[in-house]
Structure 1
Amino acid sequence: MQAIFRTGDAATDPASTGVDPEDAPLNRFHWRLTFYSGGGPFLDGYILSIIGVAMVQATPELGLSTSWQGLIGASALIGIFFGGCLGGWLTDKFGRQVLYTLDLILIIACSVAQFWAQTAFTLFILRLLIGVAVGADYPIATALLAEFVPRRYRGPLLGGLIAIWFAGAAVAYVVGELLLNFGPDGWRWMLASAALPATAFVIMRHGTPESPRWLSRQGRHAEATMVIRQIYGTNANSKPISSSSGHERLDGWALFRSGYGDRLFFVTAFWTCSIIPLFAVYAFGPTILASLGLDEAMANIGSAFITTLLLAGCLVAMAIVNRLGRRKLMLHSFLWSGIALLLLSTSTGSAPIIALSCFSAYALFIGGAQVLTWVYPNELFPTEIRGTAIGLASSLSRIGAAAGTYLAPISLDTLGIGATMSIAAFITFVGFVVSWRWAPETANFGLDQSASL
């Protein structure tokens, strides 16, 4: 535990007086854990974004057909589907700590191997495996962070991981543009470059302690108490976490009984509705803006501007997720972003500034739903099945994301920009209806309380 526990973490923390960890103030351990847990989202954004730049050179060199371009572009998303399911189950069964670094080691190995890929099939398999590792990290890292962070800060810090995703995407575009001028093998260096941040996060994550909540559910109360006291001081109160282990022991099948099936449906449905339009907009932003009347240069600049607004919307949502509450934030996010898309669908032929304004409004308002894709799944399920639930929901949502990304250019070509944006608006409004029916309010509740609402 030496890497993440450092002298002074507990000594400067008022929690050393015996306060419940759920009500403790943040200390340096929590900030470092949040940053280290952001490794998965950062690499997700980096890996999914840099392939678009790399394909410029990889397509002619490998002789990629249109089908192979689509498969390689979607390969990481396909891998995330399998990785989320597998990683969630493994982290509930074997704990968060070991898997917290093993998944990144797989990313390093496959990223480096991409440098020597000579065929489309090889590149597809390697990126599929990278996607598996990225998908596994979602339930592992977010469950670990959720189980350490006090209730008051859980929403903002979990939601902050989506901001790290956009940071990874932004860095990928910068690195990609720099390496495009690196010669004909620039695309190989681009794809291999993911190994560098992955290695850095492996080193930083070394020594991360096991979740005391998971330890308690396994009957390892002494180890759980030791971890809590290392974080908050020798007088920290470990009773709330230890006593909750007396609840009925659950397994993955509990997702489909005792109300957890409804919660899994809710999380999967709203997550899917929030990312289908987002992934399509993010992947084909320049094409969509060009269809709305912007020239090529302005379309590229507009896409960069909208990406900045997506990040800004997430930062605003992080700031108000406790004050406004989870449920209200979700409803407002879906409602106003859906209206923005609907207006966008009717702006064909209007001045480009109108289309760009509607696009910008969507980017700002959808930030609330994006933040809550990291918060709600961690708060609605008990410790024994938290990883499994997060992994399954993230995997199922990626089916929609992959389908939306694949169908977006087809819809633009066959139906046109107006109809395509109308479909995106409809999906967003479905997210609003689902949230209106099922979204609970979990702000200010402890993890055990929110899981039993």
Structure 2
Amino acid sequence: MSRTIDNAPYTAFHRRLALACSGGPLLDGYILSIVGVALIGMRPDLGLDTADVSLIGAAALLGMFVGGALFGVLTDRIGREVMYTADLLVMMVCSVLSFWVDGVWAIALLRFVLGLAVAADYPIATSLLAEWLPARDRGRLLGKQIVAWYAGSVLAYLVGFAFLQFVGPGSWRWMLASSTLLCAVFLVIRRGSPESPRWLAAHGRVGEAVAVVEKHLGVRVDGRELMPDPAGAGGPGGLRLLWTPPYRRRTLFCGLFFFCQVGPLFAMLTFGPQILGSFGMPGGTVLDTLGTGLVSLVFLIGCYPALRLIDTVGRRPTIVWSFALMIAPLVLLGLWPSAPALVAVAALSAYAFLCGGPNVLDWTYPNELFPTEVRATAVGVATSVSRVGAAVGTYLLPLSLTGLGTGPTMLVAAGVTAVGLLVCVLWAEETRGTALGAANGAPAGRASQAGPQAVPVR
């Protein structure tokens, strides 16, 4: 395993790479949230019924289910850098085409392809970032990728509010196409991002790995140090390795806690205006959009104390207590379906704040619990499983609000969250301060505190 990378000082190179990698999560938050605002104008313009709205809401998530597993495996086989730009180009093309859609199936198809591209970015960008980061900064910076997700969501509601306020609900085509600009910005930022030296070494390209470390970290390193830990190598690769001991339990843990977290969460973000409308918030234009935007902002704010907790208290206590506390506001709304709109906003904001713990560990855990040869595959599988929950929640929520009512819908969300708590109590591991290469089924080793064993390039 690489002591040089695990113990390297945090530099401007790491900051730029972290910013470049945040593009996928930010675009995901934006793309999945802007449709909730666009539906205000899209629904009457295209004559959509409840089933059509559910299909549009779930299409991107279904694409992410397919894309996560598929592109995670490809990323481990052909490299992180190869697909690093292609997925953003696909997002850009789909965003532009969204301006001319004129039917529910065309919208659903484009959003399915957008989901494929977004899901591809998760294993590419987070595994690349994890494999370059020093151990002491890894949890914080991987956690900040989800901050970018919520920043994208908040931005989507601000942009949507501006379009509603100054152009009107008929501007929904511009809303869907507005992600084109974000894609262009991150295409520029990502120029020159390097391949992972750990991946290069694991695939026999040790000379290239040494050269890329010298170029970006400014140190000379023994190529043998970059080779993967022998304890984590060998045996079946790809998806098969994830289902062999000890990875089977880790695979189930990462997928299930992610599933139970984002099922209720994505449904609330996508149909936030409709939920608040069921509690009496005036709907259709501005207030419900602003209320949902406020809840999205609290999701973002809640990540910051969690980022500190995972590096001080630890990963396991943070995720267990977060899930336990997240249940309370959902139960409150479930038992009080006639609560005033302000109470509903306060309860959903409390839920959003408490989600910070699982949020910042969504990509931290799968990147830390698996070795280089299947790291992106693990991230992709966890993403795919989570998007099953998100798609089911997004598809069923409007139907549940109509058929069951607000109270039972909130209690179902509380039950799903309780399952997530059980999964974390049983299976969550502590990976704080571990060397990245120590994820091999044995007890994780601590990163050396002595500093990198390398020679500075002069």
TM over 0.5: yes
Return the offset for 1:343: 2.8
In structure 1, how many angstroms separate the alpha carbons of the residues matched to 2:378 and 2:308?
26
Identity of aligned residues (%): 44
Return the offset for 1:360: 2.6
In structure 2, how many angstroms separate the alpha carbons of the residues matched to 1:98 and 1:289?
43
In structure 2, how many angstroms separate the alpha carbons of the residues matched to 1:349 and 1:50?
28
Q: Would the aligned equivalents of 1:347 and 1:354 in 2 still touch at CA under 8 Å?
A: no
Task: Provide, for residues 257-291 of structure 1, a one-character-per-residue CA deviation record: whole Å limited to 9, x for no partner.
Answer: 12212211111110011111212222333333343
Return the offset for 1:101: 0.7
Q: Would the aligned equivalents of 2:163 and 2:169 in 1 still touch at CA under 8 Å?
A: no
Q: Which residue in 1 is equivalent to 2:195?
A: 210
Q: Which residue in 2 is equivalent to 1:175?
A: 159
In structure 1, how many angstroms separate the alpha carbons of the residues matched to 2:333 and 2:158?
29
Q: Which residue in 1 is equivalent to 2:428?
A: 439
Return the offset for 1:69: 2.9
| TM-score under structure 1 length normalisation | 0.90
In structure 2, how many angstroms separate the alpha carbons of the residues matched to 1:99 and 1:295?
44
- The correspondence for 1:425, drawn from 414, 417, 423, is 414
Q: Would the aligned equivalents of 1:292 and 1:347 in 2 still touch at CA under 8 Å?
A: no
Q: Which residue in 2 is equivalent to 1:189?
A: 174
Q: Which residue in 2 is equivalent to 1:402?
A: 391
Q: Which residue in 2 is equivalent to 1:227?
A: 212
In structure 2, how many angstroms separate the alpha carbons of the residues matched to 1:60 and 1:409?
16
Q: Does 1:390 find its partner at 2:379?
A: yes
- The correspondence for 1:99, drawn from 83, 87, 97, is 83
Q: Would the aligned equivalents of 2:34 and 2:156 in 1 still touch at CA under 8 Å?
A: yes
Q: Does 1:116 find its partner at 2:100?
A: yes
Return the offset for 1:184: 8.3
Q: Which runs of 5+ in 2 are unaligned?
A: 444-458
TM-aligned CA distance change 1:114 to 1:301, over 3 Å: closer
Return the offset for 1:157: 0.5
Which deviates the most, 345-354 or 313-322? 345-354
Which deviates the most, 283-292 or 43-52? 283-292
In structure 2, how many angstroms separate the alpha carbons of the residues matched to 1:72 and 1:412?
17
In structure 2, how many angstroms separate the alpha carbons of the residues matched to 1:395 and 1:19?
32
In structure 2, how many angstroms separate the alpha carbons of the residues matched to 1:55 and 1:299?
13
- The correspondence for 1:269, drawn from 252, 256, 261, is 256
TM-aligned CA distance change 1:29 to 1:407, over 3 Å: same
In structure 2, how many angstroms separate the alpha carbons of the residues matched to 1:147 and 1:425?
36
TM-aligned CA distance change 1:172 to 1:351, over 3 Å: closer
Task: Provide, for residues 146-185 of structure 1, a one-character-per-residue CA deviation record: whole Å limited to 9, x for no partner.
Answer: 1111111111111111111111112222223334444787
Amino acid of the residue matched to residue 64 of structure 2? Answer: I
Q: Does 1:56 find its partner at 2:40?
A: yes
| SS across alignment from 1:99 | coil
Q: Which residue in 1 is equivalent to 2:268?
A: 281
Q: Would the aligned equivalents of 2:55 and 2:395 in 1 still touch at CA under 8 Å?
A: no
Q: Does 1:68 find its partner at 2:52?
A: yes
| TM-score under structure 2 length normalisation | 0.89
Return the offset for 1:120: 3.0
TM-aligned CA distance change 1:93 to 1:274, over 3 Å: same
Task: Provide, for residues 328-359 of structure 1, a one-character-per-residue CA deviation record: whole Å limited to 9, x for no partner.
Answer: 00001101111232233233445655544433
Higher relative contact order (CA 8 A, sep 6+): 2
Q: Would the aligned equivalents of 2:63 and 2:114 in 1 still touch at CA under 8 Å?
A: yes
Which deviates the most, 410-419 or 296-305? 296-305
In structure 1, how many angstroms separate the alpha carbons of the residues matched to 2:49 and 2:334?
32
Q: Which residue in 2 is equivalent to 1:365?
A: 354
Q: Would the aligned equivalents of 1:216 and 1:242 in 2 still touch at CA under 8 Å?
A: yes
Q: Would the aligned equivalents of 1:88 and 1:387 in 2 still touch at CA under 8 Å?
A: yes
Q: Which residue in 2 is equivalent to 1:78?
A: 62
Q: Would the aligned equivalents of 2:228 and 2:372 in 1 still touch at CA under 8 Å?
A: no
TM-aligned CA distance change 1:301 to 1:116, over 3 Å: closer
Amino acid of the residue matched to residue 270 of structure 1? Answer: F
Q: Which residue in 2 is equivalent to 1:251?
A: 237
Q: Which runs of 5+ in 1 are unaligned?
A: 1-17
Q: Would the aligned equivalents of 1:244 and 1:448 in 2 still touch at CA under 8 Å?
A: yes
Amino acid of the residue matched to residue 357 of structure 2? Answer: G
Amino acid of the residue matched to residue 372 of structure 2? Answer: T
Q: Does 1:163 find its partner at 2:152?
A: no
Which deviates the most, 435-444 or 169-178? 169-178
Which deviates the most, 240-249 or 34-43? 240-249
Q: Would the aligned equivalents of 2:371 and 2:437 in 1 still touch at CA under 8 Å?
A: yes
Q: Would the aligned equivalents of 2:59 and 2:391 in 1 still touch at CA under 8 Å?
A: no
Return the offset for 1:243: 5.7
| Alignment size in residue pairs | 436
After the TM superposition, which segments of 4 or more aligned residues of structure 1 sit over 6 Å from their partners? none
Q: Which residue in 1 is equivalent to 2:365?
A: 376
Return the offset for 1:240: 3.2
Amino acid of the residue matched to residue 219 of structure 1? Answer: G
Return the offset for 1:61: 3.8
Return the offset for 1:24: 1.6
In structure 2, how many angstroms separate the alpha carbons of the residues matched to 1:295 and 1:123?
27
Return the offset for 1:138: 0.8
Return the offset for 1:367: 1.0
Q: Would the aligned equivalents of 1:216 and 1:245 in 2 still touch at CA under 8 Å?
A: no
Q: Which residue in 1 is equivalent to 2:114?
A: 130
In structure 1, how many angstroms separate the alpha carbons of the residues matched to 2:342 and 2:293?
15
| SS across alignment from 2:193 | coil
Q: Would the aligned equivalents of 2:231 and 2:440 in 1 still touch at CA under 8 Å?
A: no
Q: Would the aligned equivalents of 1:379 and 1:451 in 2 still touch at CA under 8 Å?
A: no
Return the offset for 1:237: 5.7
